[in-house]
């Protein structure tokens, strides 16, 4: 698995704003969307292209367009939903799937409660999104489910990650490309990323 850590100053700046506990729900939601768009620009730089004929006001010309079936964006519910619109702004024709997982409060292990993916998933470039990559359990489970449905070309985007989660995901799915906005220090005893930014889902939806 290749892991790409974002170095763009705008991404770093916006993640710092997200970390601030005083950042409002609206600001936080907007920042998640903006960071997802900036990361998406990097993550989608290798999309396959083909040439098509276009008639400009001046002349007919051959120009590049994205090849193959439309991109699939698959958020891990619920926090992953906050990243969808940022990537969709780059690729408005992208199809959206959903994977619903919840984490057992005792074991921190993920459990699936919903999975709906755009068909034919095996022919699509898939971008799985979740703002936080903590233990890696949810990410591994999500990729497992996608592969069980036939998905093959998979990228994973996370705004904040812990070293434990990166290691777990890369070991479980070495074929998946991982894009990380910022690698944090570690997990605490409650499996929260430190320094992190708190519960991304609560901060996106204002439910804390």
Work out the average pLDDT over 179-206. 92
* pLDDT tens by residue, 124-135: 999 999 999 999
**What does the alpha-carbon distance between residue 157 and residue 128 come to, in Å, rounded to a whole number?**
6
Q: Partners of 141 in the beta sheet?
A: none
Token pair of 36, please?
A: 């997802």
Q: What are the residues whose beta carbons fall under 8 Å from the beta carbon of 138, sequence distance 6 or more?
A: 76, 101, 103, 110, 130
> What pLDDT is recorded for position 56?
97
How many domains is the chain partitioned into structurally?
Answer: 1
Work out the average pLDDT over 149-174. 95
With a cut of 90, say whether residue 37 has pLDDT above it. Answer: yes
Work out the average pLDDT over 35-42. 96
> What pLDDT is recorded for position 1?
61
CATH of the domain at 71: 3.40.50.2020
The confidence band for 208, taking pLDDT boundaries of 50, 70 and 90, is: low
Mean pLDDT, rounded, of the chain = 92
The confidence band for 59, taking pLDDT boundaries of 50, 70 and 90, is: very high
Percent of the chain exceeding pLDDT 70 equals: 98
**What does the alpha-carbon distance between residue 179 and residue 2 come to, in Å, rounded to a whole number?**
9
Range of the domain at 17: 3-205
């Amino acid at each position: 698995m290749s892991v790409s850590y974002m170095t763009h100053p705008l991404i770093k700046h916006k993640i710092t704003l997200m970390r601030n506990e005083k950042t409002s729900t609206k600001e936080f939601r907007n920042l998640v969307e903006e960071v997802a768009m900036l990361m998406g620009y990097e993550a989608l730089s290798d999309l396959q292209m083909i040439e098509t004929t276009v008639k400009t006001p001046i002349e007919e010309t051959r120009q590049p367009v994205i090849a193959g079936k439309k991109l699939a964006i698959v958020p891990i519910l619920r926090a992953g939903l906050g990243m969808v619109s940022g990537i969709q702004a780059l690729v408005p024709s992208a199809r959206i799937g959903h994977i619903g997982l919840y984490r057992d409060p005792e074991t921190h292990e993920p459990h699936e409660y919903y999975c709906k993916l755009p068909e034919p998933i095996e022919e699509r470039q898939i971008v799985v999104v979740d703002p936080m990559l903590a233990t890696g359990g949810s990410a591994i489970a999500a990729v497992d489910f996608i592969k069980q449905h036939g998905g093959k070309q998979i990228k994973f985007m996370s705004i904040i990650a812990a070293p434990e989660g990166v290691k777990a995901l890369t070991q479980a799915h070495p074929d998946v490309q991982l894009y990380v906005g910022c690698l944090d220090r570690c997990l605490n005893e409650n499996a929260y990323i430190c320094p992190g930014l708190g519960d991304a889902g609560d901060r996106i939806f204002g439910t804390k």
